[in-house]
């Protein structure tokens, strides 16, 4: 599969002398969104090799990871069980509706139970109820996911100076740092408030994957969370709409919209020297729009999508 690097034309970039392209990871797999496919690929292989039959995972009610695991289960003949944080709300939102349509079994955990999701004895207990289970952590981040995400960088044949990516658990960012092996600069844009915690998490993941290497050529830009995970401002929605009109690329409101807003801000602040080739990774997530629009009463479609 050739990588799809889409150059952007914008008077800001011309004025500042930088080149910006979007790496369309969102188009990578027809059913499994963006970086979630990268993160699942080697896990699915491992599950198959271990003779597992059921993918078991955790997520919030709007989670792209839940959607990805449900779709991957359907495509690769695994049963799937999704443990969802909080009570069931009916009617189901489009994310969970879709997960069920892929055959996923949903089970709800109270917020207190959900806090135990990484606890070994709690995991053992819930795995007893599944047939030949393969456990994927919330957000899908483990070392096989990091391995999959190294390929975002190693498959990129065009020259680049800076890679920009949105971060949730930081697994994708860690994979990209490991894949770059010290080359270039990589910037992660946390979608959560207080994203500074990712500094330690990503460092640990990279070290664990890269046999102790601690690469220094990456950083976090923690000012672009817009109030926190799954929060937004009118300014962010206006940016996403403008970006769609100018470039024909739909960003998502939780991750990629915030990241690209940040990229534009940094360029405006002359953060990148003239001549810098910036690649912004579109990790997908557009499925989230339907539930997001419903939750915030934004109407559907949420954007005026006429050119």
Interface residue with ligand PLP among 255, 261, 272, 289 (CB under 6 A) is 255
- Given the complex with ligand PLP, which of 35 and 210 has the nearer CB atom? 35
- Least distance (Å) between residue 146 CB and ligand PLP: 9
Nearest by Cα to 59 from 72, 47, 68: 68
- Least distance (Å) between residue 254 CB and ligand PLP: 7
Interface residue with ligand PLP among 43, 93, 95, 172 (CB under 6 A) is 172
Q: Looking at the DSSP assignment, which residues form a beta bridge with residue 57?
A: 82
Q: Does 63 participate in catalysis according to the annotation?
A: yes
139 binds ligand PLP, rule: CB under 6 A? yes
Contacts to ligand PLP from residues 13-52, by CB under 6 A: 34-36
DSSP 64-95: HHHHHHHHHHHHHT-EEEEEEES---SSPPHH
User: What is the token pair recorded at 64?
Assistant: 């792209």
At which residue do the structure tokens 């289960």 appear? 73
Nearest by Cα to 270 from 73, 20, 18, 38: 18
d(CA 100, CA 30): 18
d(CA 156, CA 28): 13
> Using CB under 6 A, which of the segments 53-61, 81-89, 161-169, 233-241 binds ligand PLP?
161-169
Decide: residue 203, CB within 10 A, 0-12 exposed, 13-18 middle, 19+ buried.
middle
- Least distance (Å) between residue 14 CB and ligand PLP: 28
Interface residue with ligand PLP among 283, 290, 291, 303 (CB under 6 A) is 283
Catalytic residue among 63, 101, 121, 210: 63
Give the residue at shortest CB distance from ligand PLP. Answer: 285
Residues in contact with ligand PLP by CB under 6 A are 34-36, 64-65, 139, 141, 166-173, 252, 255-256, 283-285
Residues belonging to the active site: 63
């Amino acid at each position: 599969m050739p990588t799809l690097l889409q150059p952007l034309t914008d008077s800001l970039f011309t004025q500042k002398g930088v080149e910006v392209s979007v790496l369309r990871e969102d188009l990578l797999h027809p059913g499994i969104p963006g970086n979630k496919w990268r993160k699942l690929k080697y896990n699915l292989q491992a599950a198959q090799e271990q003779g597992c039959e059921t993918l078991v995972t955790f997520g919030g009610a709007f989670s792209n990871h839940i959607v990805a695991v449900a779709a991957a289960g359907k495509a690769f003949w695994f049963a799937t069980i999704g443990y969802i944080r909080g009570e069931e709300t009916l009617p189901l939102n489009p994310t969970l509706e879709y997960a069920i349509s892929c055959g996923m079994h949903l089970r709800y955990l109270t917020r207190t139970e959900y806090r135990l999701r990484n606890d070994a004895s709690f995991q053992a207990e819930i795995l007893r109820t599944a047939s030949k289970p393969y456990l994927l952590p919330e957000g899908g981040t483990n070392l096989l996911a990091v391995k999959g995400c190294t390929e975002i960088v190693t498959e990129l044949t065009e020259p680049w100076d800076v890679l920009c990516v949105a971060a949730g658990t930081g697994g994708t960012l860690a994979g990209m740092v490991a894949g770059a092996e010290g080359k270039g600069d990589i910037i992660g844009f946390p979608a959560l408030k207080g994203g500074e915690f990712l500094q330690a998490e990503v460092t640990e993941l990279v070290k664990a994957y890269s046999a102790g290497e601690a690469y220094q050529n990456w950083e976090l830009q923690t000012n672009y969370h817009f109030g926190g995970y799954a929060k937004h401002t009118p300014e962010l929605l206006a940016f996403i709409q403008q970006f769609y009109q100018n470039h024909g690329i739909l960003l998502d409101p939780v991750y990629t919209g915030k990241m690209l807003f940040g990229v534009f801000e940094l360029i405006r602040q002359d953060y990148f020297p003239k001549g810098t080739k910036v690649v912004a990774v579109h990790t997908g997530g557009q499925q989230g729009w339907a539930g997001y629009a419903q939750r915030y009463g934004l109407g559907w479609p949420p954007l005026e999508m006429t050119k």
